[in-house]
Amino acid sequence: MPTDRVYGSDTFREHDMKGEKMSDKLQIALAHGDGIGPEITSACITVFEAAGVMDRIEFVPVEMGRRVFDSGETRGMTDSAIDTIERLGLLFKGPMGTPSGGGGKSINVTLRKALGAFANLRHFQSLPGVETVYSRAGVPVDFYVVRENVEDTYGGVEYRLSNDVVECKRLISAPGCDQLHHYAFKTAKAFGIDKITCGHKANIMKMTDGLFLDRFHNAARDYPEIETEDVIIDALCMNLVLRPQQYKMIALTNLQGDIVSDLAAGLVGGLGFAPSANIGEKISIFEAVHGTAPDIAGQNKANPTSLLLSGLIMLRHIGMKKQAAIIENALLYTLESGVHTGDVRGAHDPVGTREFAASIAKNLGKVPSDRYVRDVPVEDAPSFEPPERPRVNRLMQTYRTTESAVLGCDLYIETLLAPHDLAQKLELICASSPFRLTMMSSRGTQVWPTGSVYTEVVDYYRARFELRDKHMVGRIGQTPTIHLFEKVAETFAVTNFQLLKEYDGKRGFSLAQGQ
Ligand code: NAI
Ligand code: MG
C-alpha cells in the first residue's frame, strides 16, 4: 500500500509508472519544480499532512523542468508527465525555469495553453503582518484578477515581414472571451463577490478588445445579481494604485492581465504572496506566481506562502473547503504573529522555509484577528472527477449564422518607394481588376491618398484594394483577390495578404489612423 509520503518512496514512483490507481484518494499530479521549487512544495506538503489533507489526496510526481530540458527534450516535460496530468486533471507545481534563448518555450505557458487552462485566477489580499504602503494607510486590499490565459499576443505568432518590421498576431476569439467571462461570473458568485470590472483598450483596439468587452456585457446578462463596470486599462492601472479597495474582481485579456497582475502583486507586498490557479474546463494547474529564485535556492530561505495559497485555491477547487479555510487561518495567524521568512519587508529574526511551514502546522486551529479570519465551511471531501478523455479536440463556437461577403483585400508590400510613387504603380497594376486602390498606410497611419508628409514611413506598406462597384458585394468570392495578389507580386515583394470582408453587413476590419 502506498503511504502518504511523496518523497523517497521508490515503490510509489514505480507504481505510478504503471499508471495504476493505488487507493481511493483523489490523485493530483505534482511537479516539484526547479530552484526553490522542491523546498516550497515540500513546505506545502508538511502543512497539508498536518491538516489531514493527505488522508484524502495523493500526489503523483511527474517529470518536468530543468532536468528534462537538460536531457534534450525541448518541451521540458516527458510524455508520461503530460499523460498523467491529462489523466488526473489536476497539477500542483513549483516554479520552473525556462532556458533563455534557444528553442525552449516556457513550460508554464505551454501547459496552460495546450491543456486548455483558459483562466488564470489570482487573489491579491492584504495579509496580516505583511507591511505595505496600503496596510500602513489602513487601506484593505482584497480582489481577484481573472486573466485570459490562451489567446492574445501570448500566442507568440510572430513574423519578420521586411528588413525593418516584425509582427505579432493578436488573436482573440468570441468563444475564448465567453469561456473566460462566464468563469469570472461563476467564480464571483461562488465566492460571494458582487462586482466585476472588465479592463480593456476597446477605444483603440476596437475589434479585439472590443470583442472582449462586448462578450463581457453579454455574459453579464446571465448574472443580473452581479454588478458590472468596464474601465480602460491605463485608467485601471492608475485607479488600482490610488484606490485598490474599490475593486473586487477584474477580468482581463492575456497580456494586459499579465501586467496588471504583477502590479496587483506589488500592492500586497510582492510576488511572494500572490497565488495563482490556471483553470480549464477539464484540467487545472495550481502554481506560485514567482519564479525559481535561483539566488536563494537550496538555502532554506524561500517563502512558501504563494504556493501554499495556490494550494488552497486547489483545495477549494476540488471541494476540500474546510481544510483550506483552516490552513488559511493558520497561515494568517502565523504571519500576524510575526513569524516571517527573510523576504518579508521588516521581518525581524526571519525563519527558514521549513520552520515557517512547521509554525503554520503547529498553528492549525488558530485564527488571526477578526478582519482577516476565514469562515470554516463544512465541505471537506474531494468532489472532483478526473476528466474523461475526449476523442477529438472540442470545437467551440459562438456565432453560427453570419453571412459574409468579400469587399477586397489588403496587400502588405516591402518597398523603399515613397507613398505616391508606390500608389501610382499599384493603381496601374489594379486598373484591369475589379478593385481599386483606396488607401495606403505605413505602421497603421494613412499616408495615401491623404496624410501628412511628416508621417515617417518604413520599408513596409499596407495597400488596401476595395471593389470598384458596390453592386459586386456578395457576388464575388476570394479568387479575384488572389489574382490581384499574383499581379502585384509580379512587381513587388508581397509579404502578407489579408482578405477584407463584411459579416452581416458590418465591416470586418479596422480603418487606418487618419482614414
Ligand atoms: P523570481 O520570481 O524567481 O525571482 C525574483 C526575485 O524574487 C529574486 O530575488 C528571488 O529571490 C525573489 N523570490 C521569488 N520568489 C521568492 C520566494 N518564494 N521567497 C523569497 N524570495 C523569492 O524571478 P526571476 O529571477 O525573474 O526568474 C527566475 C526563473 O524563474 C527564470 O528561469 C524564469 O523563467 C522562471 N519563472 C518561472 C515561473 C513559473 O514557473 N510560473 C514564473 C516566473 C519566472
Ligand atoms: Mg507574468
Boundary residue ending a domain (371, 393, 415): 393
- The answer on 351 and 297 residing in a single domain is yes
Per-residue DSSP letter, 342 = T
Tens place of pLDDT per residue across the chain (515 aa): 333 334 333 334 434 444 455 578 999 999 999 999 999 999 999 999 999 999 999 999 999 998 888 888 888 899 999 999 999 999 999 999 877 655 567 788 888 888 999 999 999 998 888 888 998 999 999 999 999 999 999 878 899 999 999 999 999 999 999 999 999 999 999 889 999 999 999 999 999 999 999 999 999 999 999 999 999 999 999 999 999 999 999 999 999 999 999 999 999 987 778 899 999 999 999 998 889 999 999 999 999 999 999 999 999 999 999 999 999 999 999 999 999 999 887 778 899 999 999 999 999 999 999 888 999 999 999 999 999 999 999 999 999 878 999 999 999 999 999 999 999 999 999 999 999 999 999 999 999 999 999 999 999 999 999 999 999 999 999 999 999 999 999 999 999 999 999 999 999 999 887 77
Given this model, what pLDDT does residue 9 score?
38
Ligand 1 contact via 179 beta carbon (within 6 Å): no
Place of cell 462566464: 182
Nearest CA to ligand 1 atom 23: 291
- The answer on 412 and 370 residing in a single domain is no
- The answer on 73 and 24 residing in a single domain is yes
Name the amino acid, one letter, at 19.
Answer: G
Nearest CA to ligand 1 atom 24: 291
Ligand 1 contact via 253 beta carbon (within 6 Å): no
Identify whether 55 is part of a domain: yes
Closest by Cα among 379, 390, 413 to 498 = 413
Nearest CA to ligand 1 atom 11: 293
Per-residue DSSP letter, 76 = S
Boundary residue ending a domain (393, 426, 460): 393
Identify whether 422 is part of a domain: yes
- The answer on 3 and 111 residing in a single domain is yes
Quickly list DSSP for 64-75: BSHHHHHTT-TT
- The answer on 408 and 372 residing in a single domain is no
Q: Which of 40, 106, 271, 290 to mutate to test the pocket of ligand 1 (most atoms within 8 A of CB)?
A: 290
Identify whether 427 is part of a domain: yes
- CATH code of the domain in which 368 resides: 3.40.718.10
Spatial distance between the Cα atoms of 249 and 65, rounded to a whole number of angstroms: 32
Which range marks the domain in which residue 415 is found?
Answer: 404-507
Ligand 1 atom showing the smallest separation from residue 305 Cα: 18
- The answer on 410 and 388 residing in a single domain is no
Which ranges of 3-78 would DSSP assign to H, the alpha helix? 10-17, 37-50, 66-70
pTM of the predicted structure, to 2 decimals: 0.89
- The answer on 466 and 370 residing in a single domain is no
Nearest CA to ligand 1 atom 10: 293
Nearest CA to ligand 1 atom 12: 293
Closest by Cα among 436, 498, 430, 446 to 470 = 436
Ligand 1 atom showing the smallest separation from residue 276 Cα: 41
Burial of 473 (0-12, 13-18, 19+ CB in 10 A): middle
User: What is each CA distance from 353 to 97, 304, 340, 366, 369, in whole angstroms?
Assistant: 20, 7, 9, 20, 24
Identify whether 216 is part of a domain: no
User: What is each CA distance from 343 to 38, 61, 273, 363, in whole angstroms?
Assistant: 18, 28, 10, 21
Identify whether 229 is part of a domain: no
In sequence order, what are the residues at sequence separation of 6 or more whose Cβ sits closer than 8 angstroms to the Cβ of residue 31? 37, 61, 62, 63, 64, 65, 81, 91, 92, 93, 94, 96
Given this model, what pLDDT does residue 74 score?
82
Boundary residue ending a domain (344, 361, 393): 393
- The answer on 414 and 464 residing in a single domain is yes
Ligand 1 contact via 310 beta carbon (within 6 Å): no
Cβ atoms within 10 Å, residue 67? 12
Ligand 1 centroid to Cα of residue 33, in Å, is 12
- The answer on 388 and 408 residing in a single domain is no
- CATH code of the domain in which 454 resides: 3.30.70.1570
Identify whether 292 is part of a domain: yes
User: What is each CA distance from 63 to 16, 66, 179, 269, in whole angstroms?
Assistant: 12, 9, 30, 32
Spatial distance between the Cα atoms of 471 and 442, rounded to a whole number of angstroms: 30
- The answer on 430 and 323 residing in a single domain is no
The gap from C-alpha 359 to its chain's centroid, in whole angstroms, comes to 33
3-state secondary structure (DSSP) of residue 198: strand
Identify whether 352 is part of a domain: yes
- The answer on 388 and 431 residing in a single domain is no
Cβ atoms 411, 488 nearer than 8 A: yes
Spatial distance between the Cα atoms of 307 and 491, rounded to a whole number of angstroms: 58
Number of domains making up the chain: 2
- The answer on 379 and 434 residing in a single domain is no
Ligand 2 centroid to Cα of residue 160, in Å, is 25
Nearest CA to ligand 1 atom 27: 291
Identify whether 169 is part of a domain: no
